[in-house]
Structure 1
Amino acid sequence: MSRFVDLLLETARTRGAERGITTGEPHAPVRSTWGEVHQRALRMAGSLVRGGVGRGTAVAVLAGEPVMIAPAVQGVWLAGGSVTMLHQPTPRTDLGEWAEDTVRVLDMIESKLVLLGAPFDQLAPVLRERGIGYLLLGELEAGEPLAEVVESEEDQPALLQLTSGSTADPKAVRILHRNLFANMTAMVEASELDVDDDIMVSWLPLFHDMGMVGFLTVPMTVGLELVKVTPVEFLTGPLIWADLITRHRGTITAAPNFAYALLGRRLSGVDDDDRYDLSTLRLALNGAEPIDEKAVASFTAEGARFGLRPECVFPAYGMAETTLAVSFAPLLSGLRLDTVDAEELESGQRAVPAEQGRSFALLGKPLRGIEARIVSPEGQVRGEREVGEIQLRGEAVTPGYLTVEGPVATQDADGWLATGDIGYTVDGELVICGRQKDVIILAGRNIYPTDIERAANTVAGVRAGNAVAVRIDAGSRRERFAVVVESKHAGEAEQERRIKKDVGARVFESVNARPTAVLVLPPGTLPKTPSGKLRRAAAGQQLAGSIAAESQG
């Protein structure tokens, strides 16, 4: 029997009436205990089993309201199935393309069933036209509850987590029950979660692993209080995040770097120092994208007016391939930086300490049950402060992907997963420099696109977090790069000239290399993943013609 499901059932039985989930903020908040969620899940599971769902059945979920998603995914697990959270269409999405991409995903995971909930229940006709089977979440609770939980095995998939790549070429990480249990319990231990006192506050999307595993599955499984809103509520009014922490006395939250930068900017415009109380926060996890010390400094400086302690910043490293987390920084240590000599890093592949140079966040030691090593391009294991690819091994590591071409293994013969991340270790702690596929090689130097992008983001008029470094002629002797930024001044000739000049100058100051071209585009142009990360390779493909024209002009 799955230890994960066992723990879920034990929590519902022993703590179900004590802790729960609050949804519907800020307009119509409703709190449901985890016991109530479990009872709804049993009724949904009963309907699913009677409808043919059983051990190993892949079930997709498309819904926006956490109050419906929580019992739905638990119901699938109680019925013996695996869960896939589908990417959600936005108002700008072409529904025809989205439907075709969704069919491709469902074929890949071998699912014939979508659980459909508000606000996406209006897409029922789109699914029906393409022969996609669906059930409305609101109707699943009508039947009798499941009499006996369908037993799942440890090596059975619990989550088929879609990656953040192209929706037209999908890939799903096979997260087994044993992977989920191992990573969840290690995270609970490393973060010293207190089920009696901790209160999680989150707006993270549930189709992303940090939202789905960290801020729904964990609190539901161990019985932790959770306040959950949708990304739309945060993006339309970022200060709701601070408001929820204040009113609910939140102790734990998490987000990618860009969100802390955004919240810091919004807090700077608040005149009343008593409007928010962020003093209850003990962990503000920062992960899912590179950590920018300037963004963190802005967040902590502005947050200090409202009682925020800088030591609550909690840098982390993770990926869906390890279920969620790889490493956590030491508790209450805040953001710690490792500054290294830029030339040694770029040319010598060594992280030599220096007073000035490149600075990277220290991300802590691997969690219990995870091993890490640094490997050279030739496959040799590297030593302390030697740069190479990070490889991982352990109980939380997925055995493979599902792709449109079929299953693909992730581990080598010795169980190591090649992450594609470039980094090094300091006293056993992991440091990430960048993604292997994104590194720009100029005259034997390895230049990391995050350094270029941070420099571009300091230019007035560039939309914060919307600058991307694009490789040109990758792998050739004449490899070059361009910088593409978004700005509300796109189309204004004089402003565009200034932005291009300033970006080129700032980038040269930062990495001692000039971009071949600088493009200034309107807001909303750059391609992003469903979770909001910029897609460098896609940007290069999408803008290849414009970059070529700009570089010749």
Structure 2
Amino acid sequence: MSRFVETLVTSARRNSGEGARGLITGEPAEPQFRSWAQVHDAALRMAGGLGEQLRPGTAVAILAADPGLIGPAVQAVWLGGGSVTMLHQPTSRTDLGHWAEDTLKVLKMIGARLVLLGPPFEQLAGVLEDNGIAYRDLAGLAATDAEPLAGPVEVGEDETALLQLTSGSTADPKAVRITHRNLNANLHAMVTAAELDPQRDVAVSWLPLFHDMGMVGCLTVPMAIGMTTVKITPSDFLAGPLVWPQLISKYRGTVTAAPNFAYAVVGRRLARADDDFDLSSLRFALNGSEPIDPVAARTFTDAGERFGLTPDSMVCAFGMAEATLAVSFAPLRRGLQTDVVDAEGLEKRHVAEPADSEEPHARRFALLGHPLPGLEVDVVDDEGEELADRQVGRLRIRGEAVTPGYLTVDGPQKVQDADGWLDTGDEGYLADGQVVICGRRKDVIIMGGRNIYPVDIERAACEVPGVRPGNAAAVRLEAGSRRERFAVVLESKQAGSEDAEKALRKEVVSRIVDAVGVRPAEVVVLPPGTLPKTPSGKLRRSATADLVPHR
């Protein structure tokens, strides 16, 4: 068996009987604990129940919401030598016709021979039947009394374990191919960097399992090392964000992870909360998956202090599916650390020169730490020449956790160059060896010879009262015969009121000009919940740009 599968089996053997660690699901309504030995036994039964439908190399897609069903199901596929693809889940706002069209493209792209369908998505079985795609009822499979799989099948280190979809509903889906070697390398690197102790640590997570941070970081890693993890669904979190600190308090959670926006949302609620939370156990609150706004991050740590939260528990990180999950973690027990740099040097000379934090137009970036064990990060210019410390350029990564390539609708696509480097698509620099990300290269707005990063514009817009925090997008507009232009699209409850929108636009423009010295060509105000995002909550900039009126 692969080294990764061996860790799953070893974890199961160590976690049976009294004192066993395992998977807790069903919160907040009907909590259920199953040891990793019980999860493993369920996985063997499910693999046995799949019979000839699960052979080595089979691509199996999963569409379900309940982590209690998903956990043993993904292990069953790995024990049987198959690969797992977590399909993006439709929501109440999803056009099911479009979702079905996009999902069928994904299934064809990955060569899926089987879909495991669980609640609440059973009604989509007809779509699969109409298109000749085999599926199994996941709840029924979990209750099978079939003969268990005798043991893990032999699988090579470079065989596919996980096909991680990189975006939401797009015309051209793409999946990152994660091998058993990749998974094994990155999970052990994260265990080392985060100093995870299966006997001491407890993870608490609401992250979606179709996202790499939820699937790899908050389910696969605990399953592999035998650490207890409490898993609820994103809908549980959205229904009441304070369920997150409630579960950390209840289970004495030590480890959690989320994107920056979630810390901001919960931070604001904690500041007004009368609940009796106890967050003193939390030692590792990973902040990643999207640009980190230091002000938003401190909203969480400041509000949490009266509930015993240690500010030093915040760990800013750089990760991407192409590296399996994690690339770098900020140093532990130091909390949020930032790098303050001169705006002019950054935008015009592409150098991150340290600046006084009191300077009005200084730029502040979160320090994202050194690369994890087994990974390298460097910065190069457009000609591929390596740049020195604090010179801004293209970030590249290399190491055993880096994917060999994508699956696309046009076939496999390699991503590493001849020397094993992968271009991340990010622009940034190294500060005394720590990774700093300025923004996505394709999103940079160039005006008057300056590189202006959308995140600076978006932060300024979100400072305006009435703008929903974390719900503003700065997008480039097609220049044509004009000079480069950009627009800001934001969400506000004031949408629909002509006078309120006019006042809001005026204040947003003023804040942006004060912050970055340039004026947006347009400010578009949308009602809450309408800004285009991927299923994992990231802004879809190309779709957002389509919402800007052409003038």
Both proteins in one fold, TM over 0.5: yes
Query: Which residue number in structure 1 is paired with residue 204 of structure 2?
Result: 201
What's the secondary structure of 2:53's corresponding residue? Answer: coil
Query: Which residue number in structure 2 is paired with residue 495 of structure 1?
Result: 500
What's the secondary structure of 2:403's corresponding residue? Answer: coil
Counterparts of residues 191-270 of structure 1 (less than 5 Å): 191-270=194-273
Shift of 1:474: 5.5
* Per-residue deviation, residues 115-140 of structure 1 (Å, max 9, x unmatched): 01111122212222222210011222
Shift of 1:476: 7.3
- State the distance in 2 between where 1:16 and 1:192 align: 24
Counterparts of residues 56-67 of structure 1 (less than 5 Å): 56-67=57-68
Query: Which residue number in structure 2 is paired with residue 145 of structure 1?
Result: 148
Query: Which residue number in structure 2 is paired with residue 24 of structure 1?
Result: 26
1:472 aligned onto 2:473: no
Query: Which residue number in structure 2 is paired with residue 46 of structure 1?
Result: 48
Shift of 1:262: 0.2
Query: Which residue number in structure 1 is paired with residue 514 of structure 2?
Result: 509
Q: Do the aligned partners of 1:256 and 1:286 also contact (CA within 8 Å) in 2?
A: yes
Shift of 1:318: 0.2
The percentage of counterpart residues that share the same residue type is 63
Long gaps (5+) in structure 1: none
Q: Do the aligned partners of 2:284 and 2:315 also contact (CA within 8 Å) in 1?
A: yes
Deviates more, 1:166-175 or 1:450-459: 166-175
What's the secondary structure of 1:396's corresponding residue? Answer: coil
- State the distance in 2 between where 1:152 and 1:96 align: 37
* Per-residue deviation, residues 458-512 of structure 1 (Å, max 9, x unmatched): 1111111110001012597711101111111111111101110000000001110
Shift of 1:15: 2.5
Query: Which residue number in structure 2 is paired with residue 525 of structure 1?
Result: 530
* Per-residue deviation, residues 304-338 of structure 1 (Å, max 9, x unmatched): 11011100001010000000000001111100000
Query: Which residue number in structure 2 is paired with residue 188 of structure 1?
Result: 191
Q: Among residues 469, 482, 491, which one is paired with 1:486 in the alignment?
A: 491
What's the secondary structure of 2:423's corresponding residue? Answer: strand
Query: Which residue number in structure 1 is paired with residue 350 of structure 2?
Result: 349
Query: Which residue number in structure 2 is paired with residue 160 of structure 1?
Result: 163
TM-score (ref. length: structure 2): 0.97
What's the secondary structure of 1:271's corresponding residue? Answer: coil
What's the secondary structure of 2:74's corresponding residue? Answer: helix
- State the distance in 2 between where 1:291 and 1:139 align: 42
- State the distance in 1 between where 2:406 and 2:113 align: 19
- State the distance in 1 between where 2:397 and 2:354 align: 25
Alignment length (residue pairs): 543
What's the secondary structure of 2:84's corresponding residue? Answer: strand
1:318 aligned onto 2:319: yes
The amino acid that maps onto 1:534 is L
Q: Do the aligned partners of 2:15 and 2:35 also contact (CA within 8 Å) in 1?
A: no
Deviates more, 1:116-125 or 1:359-368: 116-125
The amino acid that maps onto 1:29 is P
Q: Do the aligned partners of 2:3 and 2:157 also contact (CA within 8 Å) in 1?
A: yes
Q: Do the aligned partners of 2:58 and 2:113 also contact (CA within 8 Å) in 1?
A: no
Q: Do the aligned partners of 2:475 and 2:488 also contact (CA within 8 Å) in 1?
A: yes
Shift of 1:167: 3.3
- State the distance in 2 between where 1:458 and 1:38 align: 48
Query: Which residue number in structure 2 is paired with residue 443 of structure 1?
Result: 448
Query: Which residue number in structure 2 is paired with residue 2 of structure 1?
Result: 2
Counterparts of residues 329-340 of structure 1 (less than 5 Å): 329-340=330-341
What's the secondary structure of 1:105's corresponding residue? Answer: helix
**Change in CA separation of 1:442 and 1:258 when aligned onto 2, cut-off 3 Å:** same
The amino acid that maps onto 2:340 is T
Deviates more, 1:8-17 or 1:112-121: 8-17
Q: Do the aligned partners of 1:16 and 1:223 also contact (CA within 8 Å) in 2?
A: no
Q: Among residues 382, 389, 402, which one is paired with 1:384 in the alignment?
A: 389
Shift of 1:271: 2.9
Long gaps (5+) in structure 2: none
* Per-residue deviation, residues 259-314 of structure 1 (Å, max 9, x unmatched): 00000111122135xx1001100000000001111111111111111011100001
1:14 aligned onto 2:14: yes
* Per-residue deviation, residues 195-223 of structure 1 (Å, max 9, x unmatched): 10100000000000000000000000110
- State the distance in 2 between where 1:478 and 1:9 align: 60
Shift of 1:152: 1.0
- State the distance in 2 between where 1:475 and 1:243 align: 52
The amino acid that maps onto 2:82 is G
Query: Which residue number in structure 2 is paired with residue 55 of structure 1?
Result: 56
Please tell me the root mean square deviation across aligned C-alpha atoms, in Å. Answer: 1.2
The amino acid that maps onto 1:321 is E
The amino acid that maps onto 2:194 is S
Q: Do the aligned partners of 2:88 and 2:168 also contact (CA within 8 Å) in 1?
A: no
What's the secondary structure of 1:295's corresponding residue? Answer: helix
What's the secondary structure of 2:33's corresponding residue? Answer: strand
Q: Do the aligned partners of 1:372 and 1:393 also contact (CA within 8 Å) in 2?
A: yes
1:426 aligned onto 2:431: yes
The amino acid that maps onto 2:259 is P
Deviates more, 1:411-420 or 1:127-136: 127-136
- State the distance in 2 between where 1:247 and 1:379 align: 51
Query: Which residue number in structure 2 is paired with residue 283 of structure 1?
Result: 284
